[in-house]
Amino acid sequence: MSLVLGLDSSTQSLSAVLLDTESGAILADDSVNFGNDLPQFGQPHGYDESGARGEVHSNPLMWLEALDLLLGRMKEGGVDFSEVTAVSGSGQQHGSVYLGSCFGEKLAQLDPSSNLASQLSGCLTRQSSPIWMDSSTGAECAEIAAAVGGNEVVCAKSGSVAVERFTGPQIRKFAKSDPAAYAETGIIHLVSSFFASIMAGKNVAIDHGDGAGMNLMNLAAKDWDADLVNATADGLGEKLPPCAPSASKSGAISSYFVTKYGFSPTCETIIWSGDNPCSLIGMGAASPGKVVISLGTSDTLFAAMPEPRTDPNGFGHVFGNPAGGYMSLICFKNGSLAREAVKNQFKLEWSAFEKEGLSKTLLGNGGLMMLPFYEPEITPALDTGGPIFSELGTHPAEQVVRAVLECQFLNMRTHSDWLGVDPERIFITGGASENDGIAQVIANVFGVPVERLDVPGSATIGAGMRAAHGMGEDLSGLESKFSRPKEGRTIEPEAGAKEVYDEMIGDFVEFLNRQ
Ligand code: ADP
Ligand code: XUL
């Protein structure tokens, strides 16, 4: 038996899976929902909803409290952590945590009779963490791009144009708005490297998968890019942890977890990566050929790529593939967020988005198009929050549901053209992927079968697989055990659907251009 633990700190929850990599069994899984389980932090969806001007921040102490709660709950539930040989994890991408230079020392002396949040709160030089939903750094993006010779240069170096939610522009905004606190900051971690450091009991590296989501890493060199770092903020070079390959070991687990939760002192820690790179691994898509659509809080479309091809329109990103090489990613912020808002506005259940709800309307919906953006959108770039299409209310709910789903995935289809990949099959994951109606619309719009995997949470599973990979296990063997499609759940495109959407896509692009 060879046990590994995968953790995933996502927007709304912290999850864990315990994998037996010999038998391919998932021995335990559990999750702490920030809103339901930690209501004292007042962040029902995992972030502060009162942020103004596009600011979206989370409380990093809530994340720490969640880690103690999750491991404590699993231990009480009978999980024996003593056999775990390695731990790794996945973090929501781009979010950053700002800490004083005392952080490393504090980590080395954590007292297991107390908790993480109370012992580490004094190390924060910024009380909140900007997360991926933050779109408040337009000015900083422009400044960084101008300083290095334009967005083409930023994109060629880092794999993305300067992007509002990316960590570099966020760091610049902090350095400008609170120079004293920035000066006090000794180290800036991503969500992934923050958690990885806590597990290892010392500051650890940022991996190439998540590091590429900062506008600071040079994709070709897989190291910090001096021009980008200097253009972002003074003295930033000294505040960044090193970059390292995703399979790097970071030493034995901190004694805090040994004493408190019963881990073995020889349990190895592997550095963490971003949730999308981890999901690429969990979906068995580490080698080029599979296209994955993740339907979490945001919707993302990603695939492994042999060469780091960049998006000429500036919407797509290139990240490091934790298995080596690169991956592409396109993010649509108003994914589940918009579906949920429509569901709430019309007082619907998710069944209205299921096949039976959709059967009340026709493919293509007679050309009705709606694409609501409740939050400023990433793809296409729109900085207006609020439901832009007020006519939502003037159509029957069933037509609105179909129009929104069809347009969300037509939007995805148009914006993924640059990848030059003609998918033969699409693999879906994330909270909304269980919904057969949504899966059916994806199959119809892309004209290919849609599959799901037989595992809960691909990012969490991917984190566990990465832990085993870091210990030298072969990734393709792990994929054959953990990334298997769910039998009997393949959704084929409906007859005639391809023709309907091939015809509709031109009108859709015009519709988008009019907004
Ligand atoms: P994240 O990893 O970003 O925290 P998840 O992958 O857990 O998010 O997905 C959560 C989202 O899934 C919720 O915001 C919810 O809107 C959506 N969701 C959950 N169940 C369904 C369902 N049956 N149909 C459609 N969407 C769903
Ligand atoms: C990707 C992105 C989101 C976050 C949230 O660029 O911003 O998918 O990783 O999970």
Which ligand gives the minimal distance to the CA of 430? Answer: 1
Distance from Cα 409 to the centre of ligand 2, integer Å: 18
**Rounded-to-integer distance, Cα 67 and Cα 195, Å:** 9
Q: Block means of pLDDT (10 residues each) for the chain, length 515 residues?
A: 94 97 96 98 96 94 98 98 98 98 97 98 98 95 98 96 97 98 98 98 98 97 97 98 98 98 98 97 93 92 89 91 95 92 93 95 92 84 61 81 95 91 90 95 97 88 98 96 92 96 94 81
Residue with tokens 């992934």: 192
Any domain includes 345: yes
Which ligand gives the minimal distance to the CA of 342? Answer: 1
DSSP string, 435-470: -HHHHHHHHHHHTS-EEEBSSS-HHHHHHHHHHHHH
Distance from Cα 488 to the centre of ligand 1, integer Å: 22
**Rounded-to-integer distance, Cα 158 and Cα 156, Å:** 6
**Rounded-to-integer distance, Cα 367 and Cα 3, Å:** 52
Return the pLDDT at 52: 87
Return the pLDDT at 77: 97
Residues 298 and 404 in one domain: yes
Residues 238 and 330 in one domain: no
Best probe residue, ligand 2, of 63, 94, 158 (max atoms within 8 Å of C-beta): 94
pTM of the predicted model, to two decimals? 0.92
Residues 174 and 37 in one domain: yes
Residues 48 and 127 in one domain: yes
Structure tokens at 311: 């998006």
At which of 224, 259, 277 does a domain end? 277
Pocket of ligand 2 contains residue 134 by CB under 6 Å:
no
Pocket of ligand 2 contains residue 218 by CB under 6 Å:
no
Nearest to 173 by CA among 111, 237, 126, 227: 126
Residues 272 and 290 in one domain: no
Q: How many domains does one find in the chain?
A: 2
Any domain includes 473: no
Distance from Cα 83 to the centre of ligand 1, integer Å: 32
Pocket of ligand 2 contains residue 34 by CB under 6 Å:
no
Protein residue with its CA nearest to atom 27 in ligand 1: 432
At which of 277, 296, 321 does a domain end? 277
The domain spanning residue 132 has which CATH number? 3.30.420.40
Q: Is 5 helix (H, G, I), strand (E, B) or coil?
A: strand
Pocket of ligand 2 contains residue 300 by CB under 6 Å:
yes
Query: CA angle, 20 as apex, 19 and 26 as ends, to 5°?
Result: 50
Domain containing 7: what range? 3-277
Any domain includes 478: no
Residues 186 and 303 in one domain: no
Identify residue 340 by its one-letter amino acid code. Answer: E
Return the pLDDT at 387: 52
Identify residue 243 by its one-letter amino acid code. Answer: C
Protein residue with its CA nearest to atom 10 in ligand 2: 92
Which ligand gives the minimal distance to the CA of 191? Answer: 2
Residues 272 and 293 in one domain: no
Distance from Cα 214 to the centre of ligand 2, integer Å: 12
Residues 401 and 260 in one domain: no
Any domain includes 460: no
The residues near 213 (Cβ < 8 Å, ≥ 6 apart) are 93, 94, 160, 166, 167, 190, 274, 317, 319
Structure tokens at 41: 């932090």
Residues 390 and 242 in one domain: no
Pocket of ligand 2 contains residue 279 by CB under 6 Å:
no
Which residues, judged by CB distance below 6 Å to any ligand atom, belong to the binding site of ligand 1? 10-13, 296-297, 336, 339-340, 350, 353, 430-432, 434-435, 438
Which ligand gives the minimal distance to the CA of 296? Answer: 1
C-alpha 429: how far from chain center: 12
Residues 386 and 249 in one domain: no
Return the pLDDT at 391: 55
Residues 148 and 34 in one domain: yes
Which ligand gives the minimal distance to the CA of 11? Answer: 1
Best probe residue, ligand 2, of 14, 300, 429 (max atoms within 8 Å of C-beta): 300
State the pairing for strand pair 426-429/291-295: parallel
DSSP string, 456-513: S-HHHHHHHHHHHHHTT--HHHHHHHH-PBPTT--BPPPTTHHHHHHHHHHHHHHHHH
Structure tokens at 120: 């580490």
Any domain includes 461: no
Residues 249 and 289 in one domain: no
At which of 244, 277, 310 does a domain end? 277
